[in-house]
Chains A and B, each alone.
Chain A
Amino acid sequence: MMTSAKTAAPTISVDGVGRNFTVSGQTLVAIEKIDLDIQQNEFVSIVGTSGCGKSTLLNMIGGLDEPTSGEIRIEGKPVDGPGRDRGFVFQTYSLFEWMTVEKNIRFALEKSSFARAEKDELVAHFIQAVGLSGFEKAYPKQLSGGMKQRVAIARALVYKPSILLMDEPFGALDAQTRGMMQELLLKIWEDHKVTVVFITHDVDEAIFLADRVIVLASRPGRIKKDMRIELDRPRSYEVLTDPKFAAYKREVLTDIREETLKALSAGQG
C-alpha cells in the first residue's frame, strides 16, 4: 500500500503484540504475535473460532487490557488505558438500566468538554441517527435487543471518538434484526466516518460490512488471513448474492473450518 503523500501513522497500529494469561499456574498463550495496521475510516472485521483471542485483541486496542509483549499505538501514540478517542460496543447490551435512553447516551458526554447546548444537540442527533426518536424517555428494560444495541452504539459514538470497537455487537440478535442493524451500522459509518474494528463469528456479516476481513488462527491467536473485500459501496443486502461475495465467503469458511478442525483434534473444541 503506497499512500505516498502525507504518510500519516495508521490510525491503529498493532505492533508485535502478544498476550499470555496465567491460568492456575500455567501460561496460556492467548495471542502469540499480531502485527496489524488499520487506516483511517477503514472498516475491519475480525473473525475466528471461539477462544482464538478476538476479544483479547479488541480489549487491548480499547485499553481495557495490556499486551504481554509488543505495543499498540493509536495515531502514533502508545495506548495507555481507555481513551475518548475510542468507543466500545459489547455483545451484552451493557446499558445502564436505571437511566433512560437519553440519559444513557448523555452519560457518555459527561467527561467531554462540549458546551451544554452542544451536548443536547449531540444526544438528539445520535438518538435520531440510530432511529430511536420517540424513545428518549424509555428505560432499557422496555426496549428490544436491537433497540438496546442501538442505544449502545449511540452511547459509543456520541462523544465523537475516531475509532469504534465492536465485540460481537449483534451476536445476541435474531437474523432479521441483525440484518437491519448491519445496514444501520453501515449508514452510520458512512455518515460519521469513523474507523471500525468489528468482531464477529458470522462470516456473512464480516464480509458484508468490511473493507478488510482478518481471519485469526487459534491457540495461540495470530493472523491467518488478511483479505481485502472489493465490493461496491454503499452496500445493501443485494450484495449477499453477488458471486464475488460467495468467493470471499468460501475462502474465509475454508480457513475457519481448518482452524476448527485443528482445535477439535487438539481436544479443545
Chain B
Amino acid sequence: MSVLHSIRFTLNGKPVRASVPVHLSAIDMLRDVLHLTGTKLGCGEGECGACTVIVDGVSVNSCLMFAVDCDGREVITIEGLRTDEGLNPLQKAFVQQGAVQCGFCTPGMIMQGTALLNRRSGMTVEEIRRGIEGNLCRCTGYRKIVDTIASALHETSSEEIS
C-alpha cells in the first residue's frame, strides 16, 4: 500500500480534508473517496472532457490531475453549481434548450461552459465551439450545446450591462 498524503482544499465552497495515495487521480478521489459521482469518467486519458472540473477558476481534466495536487486549491464540481433555488442558470438552460440526451457528457460540458463564461463575456459562437473542442458528445451533434452556452453568455453579458 502506498503512503497516504493528507491534503486540504476547498470543494464546492466547503473546506475538506482527505488522505490520498500519491498516485490517486483527482477524479477517483472525487468519485470514490468523496462520493461525488456527478463528475464522469469517459476515457481517463484526457481525451473526452467528461471529467472536467474547475480548479482555481480554470477548467481541468480531473482524470489527468493527481488528487494531491488539489491541496490548497479551490475545486468546483457539477454538484457545486446548484444554488439555493435549485439548478443554476446554465444548468437550466441546458434543460430548456435540449442540450442533453444521454447526459454522460453533460456535467463536463457544463463545467467547461461555466469556465468559458467566467473567462470572457463577448465570445463569438466560433470561440465557444473551439472552447468545447475537448469535450466529446456522441448524442447531440453539439449544436444545442453550443447554442445554449451562447445564449447563457448573452444573458450574463446583458445582465452585466444593465
Is A bound to B? no
What residues of chain B have their CB less than 8 Å away from a CB belonging to chain A? none
